[in-house]
Amino acid sequence: MIKQATVHEINELLDSGGECQVIDVREFSEFNSERIADAQLMPLSNFEKHADEIDHSKPVYLMCRSGNRATQAAEKLAAKGFTDIHVVKGGMTAWAGADLPIVKGESKVWSLERQVRFAAGLFVLTGVVLGFAVSPYLFLLSGFVGAGLIFAAVTDTCGMAMVLARMPWNQKPAEKGVVEGQVCSK
């Protein structure tokens, strides 16, 4: 069964040394820019590969930017037989809004949502400019992006975000010394 947890509940649990696993399912660039100190990175884009690393015997708290990706990860864990799963309501947005402690990283990469907004806007603008300058058929590019945004809203999935998440600037560098979170098991 998937439960909801507030940012204050998980912060109290972490402060008191409670037994838990905080899993952040955002992409590396998002995690590297800001995160909860005790969170372990496990991006939703390759969550299936690493889900078996999560301890079945401890409660799992899933975190993302707003709660949508955490809910998707929770459903995947439930399908694998996990029973003590919690989605942190509001994710990092709620955590930051509550002025709870955040580890700031060095990443200068935009959040995935911001990258999607930029790319969608760029495609729409390009379609309009090319539609006027080259051929009216190129207005279809803007229509295609608009249809994709509607589909993303209705299904709560975003194909453009999935593609952008795999771009090199959103991946963890292959070099040593990259800071990663840890599983909280105090």
Q: Which residues are catalytically annotated?
A: 64
111: Cα within 13 Å, side-chain hemisphere: 11
CB atoms under 10 Å from CB of 55, counted, come to 13
Distance CA 63, CA 42 (A): 10
Helix (H) / strand (E) element for 142: namely: helix 139-155
Tokens of 88: 């942190």
